[in-house]
Structure 1
Protein backbone atom coordinates (compact mmCIF):
# COMPACT_ATOMS: atom_id res chain seq x y z
CA UNK A 1 0.00 0.00 0.00
CA UNK A 2 1.32 3.44 -0.88
CA UNK A 3 1.55 6.13 1.73
CA UNK A 4 -0.88 8.93 0.95
CA UNK A 5 1.01 11.27 3.26
CA UNK A 6 3.95 13.25 1.98
CA UNK A 7 7.56 12.84 3.02
CA UNK A 8 10.18 15.55 3.36
CA UNK A 9 13.76 15.16 2.15
CA UNK A 10 16.67 17.61 2.42
CA UNK A 11 19.67 17.73 0.12
CA UNK A 12 22.23 20.47 -0.52
CA UNK A 13 20.16 23.18 1.19
CA UNK A 14 17.00 22.38 -0.77
CA UNK A 15 13.92 20.53 0.38
CA UNK A 16 11.72 18.10 -1.51
CA UNK A 17 8.20 17.10 -0.60
CA UNK A 18 7.26 13.79 -2.16
CA UNK A 19 3.77 12.33 -2.44
CA UNK A 20 2.64 9.08 -4.01
CA UNK A 21 -0.86 8.26 -5.17
CA UNK A 22 -2.25 5.20 -6.93
CA UNK A 23 -4.85 5.69 -9.64
CA UNK A 24 -6.88 2.75 -10.95
CA UNK A 25 -6.51 4.13 -14.48
CA UNK A 26 -3.93 3.92 -17.28
CA UNK A 27 -1.10 6.46 -17.34
CA UNK A 28 -2.45 8.09 -20.48
CA UNK A 29 -5.76 8.92 -18.83
CA UNK A 30 -4.16 10.30 -15.66
CA UNK A 31 -1.59 12.29 -17.66
CA UNK A 32 -4.37 13.88 -19.74
CA UNK A 33 -6.20 15.01 -16.60
CA UNK A 34 -3.02 16.35 -14.97
CA UNK A 35 -2.02 18.35 -18.04
CA UNK A 36 -5.46 19.48 -19.22
CA UNK A 37 -5.58 23.24 -18.53
CA UNK A 38 -9.18 23.12 -17.30
CA UNK A 39 -8.53 20.24 -14.88
CA UNK A 40 -5.15 21.64 -13.83
CA UNK A 41 -6.75 24.90 -12.71
CA UNK A 42 -9.17 22.95 -10.48
CA UNK A 43 -6.54 21.21 -8.36
CA UNK A 44 -3.32 23.23 -8.76
CA UNK A 45 -3.12 26.43 -6.62
CA UNK A 46 -3.46 29.73 -8.48
CA UNK A 47 -3.46 28.11 -11.94
CA UNK A 48 -5.42 30.17 -14.44
CA UNK A 49 -5.99 27.50 -17.07
CA UNK A 50 -3.53 29.17 -19.45
CA UNK A 51 -0.98 26.52 -20.37
CA UNK A 52 1.30 26.03 -23.38
CA UNK A 53 1.99 22.30 -23.05
CA UNK A 54 5.42 21.96 -24.66
CA UNK A 55 9.01 22.08 -23.43
CA UNK A 56 9.72 25.71 -22.63
CA UNK A 57 6.00 26.46 -22.67
CA UNK A 58 4.48 28.78 -20.09
CA UNK A 59 1.88 28.12 -17.40
CA UNK A 60 0.09 31.20 -16.02
CA UNK A 61 -0.73 31.73 -12.35
CA UNK A 62 -2.68 34.40 -10.46
CA UNK A 63 -2.86 34.46 -6.66
CA UNK A 64 -6.12 36.41 -6.71
CA UNK A 65 -4.49 39.27 -4.80
CA UNK A 66 -2.83 41.04 -7.71
CA UNK A 67 0.25 38.85 -8.21
CA UNK A 68 0.62 37.04 -11.51
CA UNK A 69 3.56 34.90 -12.54
CA UNK A 70 4.55 32.19 -14.99
CA UNK A 71 6.10 28.76 -14.73
CA UNK A 72 8.15 27.18 -17.49
CA UNK A 73 7.64 23.58 -18.58
CA UNK A 74 11.01 21.86 -18.03
CA UNK A 75 10.04 18.21 -18.56
CA UNK A 76 7.40 16.71 -20.78
CA UNK A 77 7.33 13.09 -21.79
CA UNK A 78 3.79 11.94 -22.55
CA UNK A 79 2.33 10.03 -20.72
CA UNK A 80 5.02 9.61 -18.08
CA UNK A 81 6.53 12.91 -17.00
CA UNK A 82 5.47 16.51 -16.50
CA UNK A 83 7.69 19.04 -14.76
CA UNK A 84 7.98 22.78 -14.50
CA UNK A 85 9.84 25.56 -12.71
CA UNK A 86 7.62 27.93 -10.76
CA UNK A 87 9.83 30.87 -9.71
CA UNK A 88 12.56 29.04 -7.69
CA UNK A 89 10.52 25.89 -7.07
CA UNK A 90 10.50 22.73 -9.17
CA UNK A 91 7.44 20.53 -9.63
CA UNK A 92 7.91 17.05 -11.03
CA UNK A 93 5.05 14.64 -11.68
CA UNK A 94 5.89 11.17 -12.93
CA UNK A 95 3.52 8.31 -13.69
CA UNK A 96 4.56 4.68 -13.40
CA UNK A 97 2.53 1.82 -14.83
CA UNK A 98 1.40 -0.73 -12.29
CA UNK A 99 -0.98 -3.62 -12.33
CA UNK A 100 -4.53 -2.24 -12.50
CA UNK A 101 -3.46 1.38 -12.91
CA UNK A 102 -0.56 3.71 -12.32
CA UNK A 103 1.37 5.28 -9.49
CA UNK A 104 1.97 9.01 -9.49
CA UNK A 105 5.01 10.47 -7.77
CA UNK A 106 4.59 14.18 -7.15
CA UNK A 107 7.70 16.05 -5.99
CA UNK A 108 7.94 19.72 -5.05
CA UNK A 109 11.51 20.96 -4.56
CA UNK A 110 12.00 24.31 -2.84
CA UNK A 111 14.49 26.36 -0.80
CA UNK A 112 12.72 27.60 2.35
CA UNK A 113 12.20 24.69 4.76
CA UNK A 114 10.20 26.91 7.12
CA UNK A 115 7.23 26.47 4.77
CA UNK A 116 7.41 22.67 4.63
CA UNK A 117 4.52 21.97 7.03
CA UNK A 118 2.06 24.36 5.38
CA UNK A 119 3.19 23.35 1.90
CA UNK A 120 2.78 19.65 2.66
CA UNK A 121 -0.72 20.18 4.07
CA UNK A 122 -1.66 22.22 1.01
CA UNK A 123 -0.36 19.67 -1.49
CA UNK A 124 -2.02 16.86 0.40
CA UNK A 125 -5.38 18.58 -0.07
CA UNK A 126 -4.68 19.48 -3.72
CA UNK A 127 -3.70 15.91 -4.57
CA UNK A 128 -6.85 14.63 -2.87
CA UNK A 129 -8.83 16.85 -5.25
CA UNK A 130 -6.77 15.63 -8.23
CA UNK A 131 -7.70 12.09 -7.21
CA UNK A 132 -11.38 13.08 -7.21
CA UNK A 133 -11.08 14.65 -10.68
CA UNK A 134 -9.24 11.65 -12.19
CA UNK A 135 -11.90 9.31 -10.79
CA UNK A 136 -14.80 11.43 -12.08
CA UNK A 137 -16.05 12.44 -8.65
CA UNK A 138 -17.50 15.80 -7.76
CA UNK A 139 -14.82 18.03 -6.27
CA UNK A 140 -15.06 18.37 -2.52
CA UNK A 141 -12.37 20.25 -0.62
CA UNK A 142 -12.22 18.55 2.76
CA UNK A 143 -11.92 20.89 5.75
CA UNK A 144 -8.82 19.18 7.13
CA UNK A 145 -6.09 21.83 6.85
CA UNK A 146 -5.49 22.17 10.60
CA UNK A 147 -5.29 18.41 11.13
CA UNK A 148 -2.89 18.00 8.22
CA UNK A 149 -0.65 20.82 9.48
CA UNK A 150 -0.59 19.18 12.93
CA UNK A 151 0.31 15.82 11.37
CA UNK A 152 3.10 17.23 9.18
CA UNK A 153 4.46 19.40 11.99
CA UNK A 154 4.79 16.28 14.12
CA UNK A 155 6.51 14.09 11.51
CA UNK A 156 8.78 16.81 10.06
CA UNK A 157 10.16 18.01 13.40
Structure 2
Protein backbone atom coordinates (compact mmCIF):
# COMPACT_ATOMS: atom_id res chain seq x y z
CA UNK A 1 0.00 0.00 0.00
CA UNK A 2 3.00 2.34 0.53
CA UNK A 3 1.15 4.54 3.08
CA UNK A 4 2.43 8.06 3.67
CA UNK A 5 1.12 10.39 6.39
CA UNK A 6 1.89 14.10 6.15
CA UNK A 7 0.51 17.43 7.36
CA UNK A 8 -0.91 20.13 5.10
CA UNK A 9 -2.77 23.30 6.10
CA UNK A 10 -3.08 22.01 9.66
CA UNK A 11 -4.65 18.70 8.61
CA UNK A 12 -3.42 15.13 8.42
CA UNK A 13 -3.12 13.76 4.89
CA UNK A 14 -2.96 10.01 4.31
CA UNK A 15 -1.87 8.67 0.91
CA UNK A 16 -2.19 5.02 -0.06
CA UNK A 17 -1.57 3.30 -3.39
CA UNK A 18 -2.83 -0.03 -4.68
CA UNK A 19 -2.14 -1.66 -8.01
CA UNK A 20 -5.21 -3.14 -9.66
CA UNK A 21 -5.14 -5.77 -12.41
CA UNK A 22 -7.58 -3.79 -14.53
CA UNK A 23 -7.28 -0.64 -16.70
CA UNK A 24 -8.72 2.70 -15.50
CA UNK A 25 -11.77 2.36 -17.77
CA UNK A 26 -12.69 -0.88 -16.02
CA UNK A 27 -12.03 0.47 -12.53
CA UNK A 28 -13.86 3.79 -12.96
CA UNK A 29 -17.46 2.49 -12.60
CA UNK A 30 -16.54 0.96 -9.23
CA UNK A 31 -15.52 4.44 -8.03
CA UNK A 32 -18.69 6.28 -9.03
CA UNK A 33 -21.67 3.92 -9.42
CA UNK A 34 -23.75 3.33 -6.26
CA UNK A 35 -24.28 -0.40 -6.81
CA UNK A 36 -20.53 -0.91 -7.34
CA UNK A 37 -19.49 1.33 -4.44
CA UNK A 38 -21.75 -0.70 -2.13
CA UNK A 39 -19.46 -3.71 -2.62
CA UNK A 40 -16.31 -2.08 -1.22
CA UNK A 41 -16.72 1.54 -0.03
CA UNK A 42 -17.21 2.00 3.76
CA UNK A 43 -20.69 3.47 3.24
CA UNK A 44 -23.40 3.47 0.66
CA UNK A 45 -22.85 6.45 -1.62
CA UNK A 46 -24.74 8.11 -4.45
CA UNK A 47 -22.62 10.56 -6.43
CA UNK A 48 -23.97 13.31 -8.67
CA UNK A 49 -21.18 13.19 -11.23
CA UNK A 50 -20.36 16.84 -11.77
CA UNK A 51 -18.15 19.32 -9.96
CA UNK A 52 -20.32 20.76 -7.21
CA UNK A 53 -22.58 17.71 -7.32
CA UNK A 54 -24.01 16.21 -4.17
CA UNK A 55 -22.72 12.99 -2.61
CA UNK A 56 -25.21 11.19 -0.36
CA UNK A 57 -23.76 8.76 2.19
CA UNK A 58 -25.37 6.13 4.37
CA UNK A 59 -24.00 7.85 7.47
CA UNK A 60 -22.31 11.15 8.24
CA UNK A 61 -22.97 14.46 6.53
CA UNK A 62 -23.46 14.56 2.77
CA UNK A 63 -20.55 15.71 0.64
CA UNK A 64 -19.77 17.66 -2.51
CA UNK A 65 -17.81 16.66 -5.60
CA UNK A 66 -14.73 18.90 -5.76
CA UNK A 67 -12.86 17.40 -8.75
CA UNK A 68 -13.95 15.19 -11.62
CA UNK A 69 -12.02 13.97 -14.67
CA UNK A 70 -13.34 10.57 -15.84
CA UNK A 71 -11.82 8.01 -15.84
CA UNK A 72 -8.82 9.51 -14.07
CA UNK A 73 -9.95 11.46 -11.04
CA UNK A 74 -12.81 11.97 -8.63
CA UNK A 75 -12.64 13.84 -5.33
CA UNK A 76 -15.32 14.79 -2.84
CA UNK A 77 -15.94 15.81 0.74
CA UNK A 78 -17.47 13.54 3.36
CA UNK A 79 -18.49 15.49 6.43
CA UNK A 80 -15.27 17.40 7.25
CA UNK A 81 -12.97 14.95 5.44
CA UNK A 82 -11.80 15.13 1.83
CA UNK A 83 -11.28 12.03 -0.33
CA UNK A 84 -9.44 11.96 -3.64
CA UNK A 85 -9.19 8.91 -5.93
CA UNK A 86 -6.74 9.08 -8.84
CA UNK A 87 -6.17 6.38 -11.45
CA UNK A 88 -3.20 6.05 -13.75
CA UNK A 89 -2.47 3.31 -16.30
CA UNK A 90 0.15 0.76 -15.31
CA UNK A 91 0.84 -1.83 -17.99
CA UNK A 92 -2.35 -3.81 -18.53
CA UNK A 93 -3.68 -2.62 -15.17
CA UNK A 94 -3.76 0.59 -13.18
CA UNK A 95 -2.61 2.19 -9.95
CA UNK A 96 -5.15 3.77 -7.65
CA UNK A 97 -3.91 6.59 -5.41
CA UNK A 98 -6.17 7.43 -2.49
CA UNK A 99 -5.61 10.71 -0.65
CA UNK A 100 -7.60 11.24 2.55
CA UNK A 101 -7.38 14.59 4.37
CA UNK A 102 -8.79 14.74 7.91
CA UNK A 103 -8.46 16.53 11.25
CA UNK A 104 -8.11 13.57 13.62
CA UNK A 105 -4.38 12.82 13.44
CA UNK A 106 -4.34 10.11 16.14
CA UNK A 107 -7.04 8.27 14.17
CA UNK A 108 -4.77 7.83 11.14
CA UNK A 109 -4.07 4.14 11.82
CA UNK A 110 -7.80 3.38 11.99
CA UNK A 111 -8.35 5.13 8.67
CA UNK A 112 -5.37 3.39 7.06
CA UNK A 113 -6.46 -0.05 8.24
CA UNK A 114 -10.00 0.63 7.05
CA UNK A 115 -8.89 1.77 3.61
CA UNK A 116 -6.48 -1.17 3.34
CA UNK A 117 -9.44 -3.51 3.81
CA UNK A 118 -11.72 -1.52 1.50
CA UNK A 119 -9.19 -1.42 -1.33
CA UNK A 120 -8.59 -5.15 -0.97
CA UNK A 121 -12.36 -5.60 -1.34
CA UNK A 122 -12.29 -3.34 -4.41
CA UNK A 123 -9.72 -5.65 -5.99
CA UNK A 124 -12.02 -8.61 -5.38
CA UNK A 125 -14.98 -6.74 -6.88
CA UNK A 126 -13.02 -6.00 -10.04
CA UNK A 127 -11.96 -9.65 -10.22
CA UNK A 128 -15.62 -10.66 -10.25
CA UNK A 129 -15.70 -11.80 -6.62
CA UNK A 130 -17.91 -9.23 -4.84
CA UNK A 131 -18.79 -10.04 -1.26
CA UNK A 132 -15.80 -12.31 -0.76
CA UNK A 133 -13.99 -11.76 2.54
CA UNK A 134 -10.50 -10.28 1.91
CA UNK A 135 -9.32 -12.32 4.90
CA UNK A 136 -7.63 -9.40 6.65
CA UNK A 137 -7.33 -8.80 10.39
CA UNK A 138 -8.39 -5.18 10.95
CA UNK A 139 -6.99 -5.05 14.48
CA UNK A 140 -3.59 -6.38 13.39
CA UNK A 141 -3.53 -3.93 10.48
CA UNK A 142 -4.34 -1.07 12.84
CA UNK A 143 -1.43 -1.88 15.14
CA UNK A 144 0.90 -2.23 12.15
CA UNK A 145 -0.12 1.18 10.82
CA UNK A 146 0.37 2.81 14.24
CA UNK A 147 4.04 1.93 13.85
CA UNK A 148 4.38 2.49 10.09
CA UNK A 149 2.78 5.95 10.22
CA UNK A 150 4.88 7.12 13.16
CA UNK A 151 2.01 7.60 15.60
CA UNK A 152 4.06 6.73 18.68
CA UNK A 153 5.82 10.10 18.97
CA UNK A 154 4.58 12.33 21.81
CA UNK A 155 3.62 15.96 21.30
CA UNK A 156 5.61 18.46 23.37
CA UNK A 157 3.81 21.73 24.12
CA UNK A 158 5.36 24.67 25.94
CA UNK A 159 3.28 25.90 28.88
CA UNK A 160 3.56 28.78 31.34
CA UNK A 161 5.30 26.55 33.87
CA UNK A 162 7.38 24.45 31.49
CA UNK A 163 6.13 21.78 29.09
CA UNK A 164 3.42 19.21 28.60
CA UNK A 165 4.44 15.93 26.97
CA UNK A 166 1.43 14.01 25.65
CA UNK A 167 0.66 11.02 23.47
CA UNK A 168 -2.83 10.35 22.13
CA UNK A 169 -3.30 6.80 20.88
CA UNK A 170 -6.28 5.15 19.19
CA UNK A 171 -6.81 1.59 20.41
CA UNK A 172 -8.72 -1.37 18.99
CA UNK A 173 -10.21 -2.33 22.36
CA UNK A 174 -13.53 -0.94 23.66
CA UNK A 175 -13.54 1.69 26.44
CA UNK A 176 -14.93 -0.74 29.01
CA UNK A 177 -11.81 -2.88 28.59
CA UNK A 178 -9.35 0.02 28.69
CA UNK A 179 -10.81 2.17 31.48
CA UNK A 180 -10.07 -0.21 34.40
CA UNK A 181 -6.46 -0.59 33.25
CA UNK A 182 -5.66 3.14 33.30
CA UNK A 183 -7.19 3.72 36.74
CA UNK A 184 -4.45 4.47 39.24
CA UNK A 185 -1.62 4.76 36.72
CA UNK A 186 0.98 7.49 37.18
CA UNK A 187 0.54 10.71 35.24
CA UNK A 188 -2.63 11.99 33.65
CA UNK A 189 -4.72 9.51 31.65
CA UNK A 190 -7.83 10.43 29.68
CA UNK A 191 -10.20 8.56 27.38
CA UNK A 192 -11.24 11.20 24.81
CA UNK A 193 -13.58 10.53 21.92
CA UNK A 194 -11.89 8.66 19.08
CA UNK A 195 -12.80 7.22 15.70
CA UNK A 196 -15.45 4.90 17.14
CA UNK A 197 -13.43 1.77 16.32
CA UNK A 198 -12.23 1.38 19.91
CA UNK A 199 -11.14 3.46 22.88
CA UNK A 200 -8.89 6.50 22.54
CA UNK A 201 -6.31 7.06 25.28
CA UNK A 202 -4.34 10.23 26.01
CA UNK A 203 -1.43 10.13 28.45
CA UNK A 204 0.37 13.31 29.49
CA UNK A 205 2.94 14.52 31.98
CA UNK A 206 4.13 18.00 32.90
CA UNK A 207 7.78 18.99 33.08
CA UNK A 208 9.31 22.03 34.76
CA UNK A 209 12.85 21.53 33.44
CA UNK A 210 14.36 20.50 30.13
CA UNK A 211 15.70 17.36 31.79
CA UNK A 212 12.22 16.38 32.99
CA UNK A 213 10.82 17.15 29.53
CA UNK A 214 13.35 14.91 27.81
CA UNK A 215 12.71 12.11 30.30
CA UNK A 216 8.96 12.42 29.76
CA UNK A 217 9.45 12.15 25.99
CA UNK A 218 10.76 8.65 26.63
CA UNK A 219 8.54 7.66 29.54
CA UNK A 220 5.17 8.74 28.10
CA UNK A 221 5.35 6.50 24.99
CA UNK A 222 6.76 3.70 27.14
CA UNK A 223 3.80 3.97 29.53
CA UNK A 224 1.31 3.85 26.65
CA UNK A 225 3.13 0.85 25.15
CA UNK A 226 2.98 -0.88 28.55
CA UNK A 227 -0.78 -0.27 28.65
CA UNK A 228 -1.20 -1.79 25.18
CA UNK A 229 0.79 -4.83 26.31
CA UNK A 230 -1.65 -5.32 29.20
CA UNK A 231 -4.70 -5.40 26.96
CA UNK A 232 -6.31 -8.82 26.43
CA UNK A 233 -4.57 -10.80 23.71
CA UNK A 234 -7.91 -12.05 22.41
CA UNK A 235 -8.80 -8.50 21.40
CA UNK A 236 -5.94 -8.49 18.88
CA UNK A 237 -7.31 -11.50 17.02
Is TM > 0.5 for Structure 1 vs Structure 2? yes
SS at match of 2:39: helix
From 43, 51, 58, the counterpart of 1:62: 58
Higher strand share: 1
* Cα separation, 2, equivalents of 1:98 and 1:138: 23
Q: What secondary structure is seen at the aligned counterpart in 1 of 2:13?
A: strand
TM-superposed CA distance for 1:62, in Å, is 2.2
Question: Structure 1: which 5+ runs fail to align?
Answer: none
Q: Which has the larger radius of gyration?
A: 2
What TM-score does the superposition give when structure 1 sets the normalisation length? 0.87
User: Which secondary structure state, in structure 1, belongs to the residue aligned with residue 108 of structure 2?
Assistant: helix
Return the alpha-carbon distance in structure 2 between the equivalents of residues 59 and 125 of structure 1. 22
Alignment of 1:2-151 (within 5 A): 4-47=1-44, 49-63=45-59, 68-139=60-131, 140-151=133-144
Q: Contact 2:23 / 2:93 at 8 angstroms: preserved in 1?
A: yes
Q: Deviations over 1:13-67 (max 9, x none)?
A: 21111111111211111111211111112211222x432222111121123xxxx
Unaligned runs of 5+ in 2: 152-237
Cα displacement (A) at 1:70? 0.8
TM-score by length of 2: 0.59
Q: Please state how far the C-alpha of 1:138 moved relative to its aligned partner.
A: 3.5
Residues paired across the two proteins, number = 149
Spell out structure 1 runs of 4+ moving beyond 3 A: none
Q: Deviations over 1:80-116 (max 9, x none)?
A: 0010011221100000112121111011011110211
- Matched residue, 2:146: 153
Which segment drifts farther, 138-147 or 119-128?
138-147
Higher relative contact order (CA 8 A, sep 6+): 1
